Structure formats: structure tokens, C-alpha cells
Amino acid sequence: MLAPTEIIQNVKTLRNELERHNYRYYVMDDPTVPDVEYDRLMNRLKDIEAKYPLLIVPESPTQRVGGAPLAGFTQVTHEMPMLSLDNAFSEDDMQDFNRRIIGRLGNIGAEDGVVEYVCEPKLDGIAVSLLYEKGQLVRGATRGDGETGEDITQNVRTVNSIPLKLMGSGYPERLEVRGEIYMPKSSFDALNQEAERTDNKLFVNPRNAAAGSLRQLDPKITAGRNLEMCCYSVGIVEGGAFSDTHSDSLYCLNQWGFRINAEMKVVADVDGCLSYYQSISEKRNLLPYEIDGVVFKVNNLALQQRLGFVSRAPRWAIAHKFPAQEELTTVLDVEFQVGRTGAVTPVARLVPVFVGGVTVSNATLHNMDEIERLGLMIGDSVIIRRAGDVIPKVVKVVEEKRPDNACSVTFPALCPVCESEVIQLEGEAVARCSGGLFCAAQRKEAIKHFASRKAMDIDGLGDKLVESLVDEDYIKSVADLYKLTRFQVASMDRMAEKSANNLLGALERSKNTKLSSFVYALGIREVGETTARTLSNAFGTLEKIRTANVETLLAVQDVGPIVANHIVSFFEQSHNNEIIEQLIAVGVHWPDVVVDETDKVFQGKTFVITGTLSQMSREEAKEKLLELGAKVSGSVSKKTYCLIAGEAAGSKLKKAEDLGINIMNEQAFIDLL
């Protein structure tokens, strides 16, 4: 069927756009659109070509994989093409894939309509080909366009998980191993932190970082990037043979020195595939590497051969993609929020877009330094990223899409909530409102923190109630909590007289507290629960903490110069001291801590508590140790002095045994106390 002129032009436009994206992705390592946008364009072109087959030409992006090789490297022609995978985005897509497999196999290999599949996480990295001759690595190449790649032999030799010589025996005379080179999350974070420190370009995600690292002309740079490789198949095999299944082939490669994915699993049918997809999706954020889906392959190699290929993908494999973690959208505006500590944070208001499984309309921009680094303007098209429960963030500005009416972002000189001056201390990236407890935004958050369980532990004073009480102007500071009347509380939404009585009772009980809890409740910057306890144990009274200078504070264990300056600055503010006096006046009290250095028998020693204790809670045991000067850590290391092991102690106990660390059971610990 001949295509209308409009359709022909549309196809040309789509092909040009896809080729441009291929170039930016594969050649420049600087994509301007997220994967999901690229997939949309590709699927649109495939749909048109399916309807008008006469439009299909060899150079169409649908007929090849990837882009042209980088000119800086020697080109390699793949003896066996490195193809891509078709995608599934839903359970229905997976069911359709399975039905196609069974339909093509008929009674051969699909007994009772059941096919065995190999399941693996789809690593988000760069596909590579490794050629071995007589067990020696002789060439490494990128996939490139599937037919021709780039010779990156010197760079792949720097990846520790790639064997330079195969282990064991029995491997073919000539063997091509295919896999994914990727950058672990920890290495990616370290790389971007260093780039930020040295004012260099940041990578958008670990995949782009791995691509950029592999395409370094200096192998020493690649060697410093901590790349890893995981194999997923074989290509050319000469002078030897494998077993009958894909999974056994991978286990064989593993014996010869290759890493295979520990999450790999063989399942019996499509329901097993869907179950595996769900389980990997749930643990995705816990994995040390990025994945963007799951790959399913027919396990029987003879059946793979029988099923064959289409133009750019095998019929016997499919990638079941996760919801996109990156999306393209537009910045409508940049607003500024004020946090509990007065931090003024820019937030991008976006055209709503579905990403990472939810609809996102806001994304954090952190501070003005981040806005300047991104080069962001209001009206820009941007790539946003949301991984798991992480707050969405803008990772890249697509400058080529910038409209003529885009405008710069101006940081406010005055607080957007209370109109106090916004100040930025030297050496700090964050600007802050100087309004302190007078700023309504800070007031709400300060009260929520004050009432929290590890602070004053005021049961029944939830976030919404705090906001309502502040909005009604019943509370202007934390001291006003203790002046609330039954009528004021009962007049709030969903607060009956009984609820009001319960809250007033909780407020009365909270007046009897501990010094460490009170210090923590004040919300001093950088003073968490542990530091508050350390200060209480070191000084004994609030007055001594209030009057301590920086030098005195620095003498306290684990108090550094930043924390010391925040403490001194907090107590130098007259309004902070006024509120403390108001709290004391309404009856908030605590016993002073007896400071007796002779009782600090475990000063500087680190303990770890694990397992279930029957005679006290682990929190109580921690309190006892802290009172004796000990540090209490959550993990065992060579610096650990002693492990307190309760019932059902697990890996921490084994690690302590391996390291030869002193181990004490609960009864021995109680006897010691």
C-alpha cells in the first residue's frame, strides 16, 4: 500500500530525530531525552512501517541497533550480529510473547503449553563482545550498530571482573562472550561527587557514566572508574561445544572466570516469569547496580535456533521493562520552600508526567549552585529522574528545546513566608531564612520536631494538628503548646473532647523529660539524638551547655567545629533563650545528669548489639552503654570492642567471630552492668 505524502514526511522526520538521539546517546554519551521518550519515537516509526511496509529501508533505525561507532577507535565487524531485544511493558505483553513462542514451537518443545525460561535482571550498562582465542583475551568491542562496533580492548582489560585468561579447561579454541559492562551505584556516586568537587561535568546516570568511561582514549582513566562486567550469552564458538541450555552455558562461563548475575533463575512458564519480575521489582532499589527491567530467554538452545530472529531482535527473548525512571517534561516555574532549619530550597513546578510509577509535578533543585550547574531556566525542557522512593530531581536541561521566552531563576532576598532576610554563610551551599522561630514555616516544623517520639514524645500531636493549631494562631512557639486550652484543641477538625483530654494529658506527661531529649527537641542544626545525649553526659546541665564556647564544645567527643558553631549560634539568639525560659516556667523539667568521669569505664570503646534481648530492650541496653561512655554502632568492624549477642543473633555474630572480637551474651552483659 502506497503511503500518503504526509506519512512519508512524518517517517523522514522520525528517522532524523531517532538518528540524532542515537548519535547523542551512542557517540557523544550525552543523551538529550530519556529512554522512555526514545522508545515512544521508535514505536511510532515501527507502527507506521508495519502499516506501510514499502517505506522500510535498510538504513531505518528500526532495521539496526544503536548508532555509528566513535571515530576515535578502530572499527570491529561482528562475525555474528549483536542484536537488540523487543520490549514488554505489561503482563499482557508478556502473555502475548509466550503465546507467540508456543504457537511457533507447536508440539516440539512446548509440552502442555509450557516453555522453560531463564530470567535475569536487565543491567543498565553497555553491551560488549569479548573474544578469546586459546583462553586468552584478544579483543573487546562495543555493540555499536550491531554489525560494527568499536575496539576497546585496552579499556576492557582494566575491568577486574573480565578475565584476561580463562580459568580451568575445556573451553573452546575460539570463544566470544557477550555481556554488560556497568558502573555500580557506589562508584557512580563517588564519580559524580568528585566531578562536582572539581567543577566538572556530572553524568546523568550510571549507564552514561559507564559509556563515557569505556570510551576514554586513555585506559588509565577507565581503570579508575571501577567498572564491572556481567556476562549474559555467547556469540562465536569454534573448536568446542556447550550444554543444551542457556543457563548451563552461563554456569560454564562462570567456571571459566566470568561473573554471571546472582539473581539469575530458571522458571517453568510465563507465570514464573511474571512472579520473578515482581520479586526483582521489589528488591530493585536494594541492588548495588541499576537495572531497567528483566530479560526472559527460552532456556533450550535448540529451541532458540528453531525460533530464530526478526530483523533486529531474537524471537526467543524479550525485555520486560520497569516503569521509566527518567522522563521529559517542562519547567513551569521555580518556587522556594522554607524548611525547619530555615533552609530556602528551590523547587521546580513541572508539567505533570508519569515517571517511576507515579505522577510527578514537582522536583527538587537543592540550591542555587545546582540551578547554575544545570543552567536551568523557567520554561526549559528537562529530564527528571525518580528511582524508588527517592524525591524526583532534575538531572539535565535539554538546551536545544529552550523556548525564546525562557527566563532566569532569581533567588529571593527575603523569605517567601515571613519576609525576613535570607542569608547564606560563607562555605555553605544552602541559604537560610533569618526569621528563626518567628517564621511560620519554621515554626510548624520546629513544633513537629519538638513533639516527636525521640524528643518530647507528645502522643497525639500529629503533623496536621500542629499545622491547624499554628494556622489558627493558637501556637506561635513550642512554649505555647503548654498553654493550649481544652476548648482550643477540641475545636480542631476530628478532635472530640476525649481526644482533646488525651492530648492535654500527653502534654502534661511530657513536662517530665530527660536533658538529652530536651536538647534534641530544641532542633539545633546538626544536633541529632546521639549528639544531644553526648552533650548531656558531658556537661550535665542545660546551663553549662548554653554557656559553653566553641573550644569547650570541641573538647567533647564526636563534636566537630561545624556542630560546635551551630550550638553556640543557637544559644546566642535571645529569642531562643526566651522560649527555653518560657518552657521551664510552664513546668518542663528534667533531672541533671551526674557527670562522673570515673564511671566512664567504656570511654571511646565501640559496642554492637544484635539479636533479641529478653531482660531489657536493645534501646535500654544502648542507654546503659552510652552512660558508661561507650559508642554504640550498628555494624561490626575491626574497631568494634565487644558484641552483645542476644537470641537469634545472625550475620553480625559470625562476623565478630571471624574478626576475633570479644562476644558477650545477655546474662554476661547484665552481670557486667
Domains contained in the chain, CATH given: 5-63 (1.10.287.610), 87-321 (3.30.470.30), 325-434 (2.40.50.140), 436-510 (1.10.150.20), 515-585 (1.10.150.20), 597-672 (3.40.50.10190)
Question: Residue 389: which pLDDT band, with cuts at 50, 70 and 90?
Answer: low
Q: Which residues have C-beta within 8 Å of that of residue 589, sequence separation ≥ 6?
A: 511, 512, 513
User: Cα separation of 668 and 59, whole Å?
Assistant: 76
- Where is average pLDDT lowest: 40-54, 356-370, 615-629? 615-629
pLDDT at 29: 62
- For residues 365 and 346, the answer to whether their CB atoms sit within 8 Å is yes
Mean pLDDT of 9-24: 86
User: Cα separation of 343 and 341, whole Å?
Assistant: 6
- Where is average pLDDT lowest: 170-179, 480-489, 627-636? 627-636
pLDDT above 90 for 319: yes
Mean pLDDT of 78-84: 90
Which three-class secondary structure state does DSSP give residue 76? strand
Considering only residues 599 and 121, tell me which one the structure prediction assigns the higher pLDDT: 121
Mean pLDDT of 343-370: 89
Mean pLDDT of 213-224: 86
Q: Which residues have C-beta within 8 Å of that of residue 61, sequence separation ≥ 6?
A: 15, 18, 19, 22, 42, 45
Asked whether the CA dihedral 599, 601, 606, 612 is positive or negative, the reply is negative
pLDDT at 426: 63
User: Cα separation of 118 and 98, whole Å?
Assistant: 13
Question: Residue 425: which pLDDT band, with cuts at 50, 70 and 90?
Answer: low
Catalytic residue among 46, 51, 122, 464: 122
User: Cα separation of 360 and 347, whole Å?
Assistant: 12
The percentage of residues in the chain with a pLDDT greater than 90, rounded to a whole number, is: 42
pLDDT at 36: 86
Question: Residue 599: which pLDDT band, with cuts at 50, 70 and 90?
Answer: low
CA distances from 25 to 30, 34, 181, 381 (A): 6, 10, 16, 18
pLDDT at 326: 86
pLDDT at 477: 86
pLDDT at 496: 82
Question: Residue 196: which pLDDT band, with cuts at 50, 70 and 90?
Answer: confident
Mean residue pLDDT across the chain: 87
- For residues 316 and 304, the answer to whether their CB atoms sit within 8 Å is yes
Half-sphere exposure of 244 (CA within 13 A, CB side): 5
Question: Residue 28: which pLDDT band, with cuts at 50, 70 and 90?
Answer: low
Beta strands in 147-196 (DSSP E): 148-150, 174-182
CA distances from 512 to 484, 505, 517, 522, 541 (A): 18, 12, 10, 16, 15
pLDDT at 600: 67
pLDDT at 180: 95
Question: Residue 515: which pLDDT band, with cuts at 50, 70 and 90?
Answer: very high
Mean pLDDT of 107-111: 63
pLDDT at 555: 83
Distance of CA 582 to the CA centre of its chain: 43
Mean pLDDT of 180-194: 92
Considering only residues 596 and 238, tell me which one the structure prediction assigns the higher pLDDT: 238
Beta strands in 213-258 (DSSP E): 228-238
Q: Is residue 51 among the annotated active site residues?
A: no
Question: Residue 231: which pLDDT band, with cuts at 50, 70 and 90?
Answer: very high
pLDDT above 90 for 178: yes
* 521 membership: H or E segment, kind and range: helix 515-521
- For residues 118 and 296, the answer to whether their CB atoms sit within 8 Å is yes
Distance of CA 373 to the CA centre of its chain: 21
User: Cα separation of 400 and 396, whole Å?
Assistant: 12
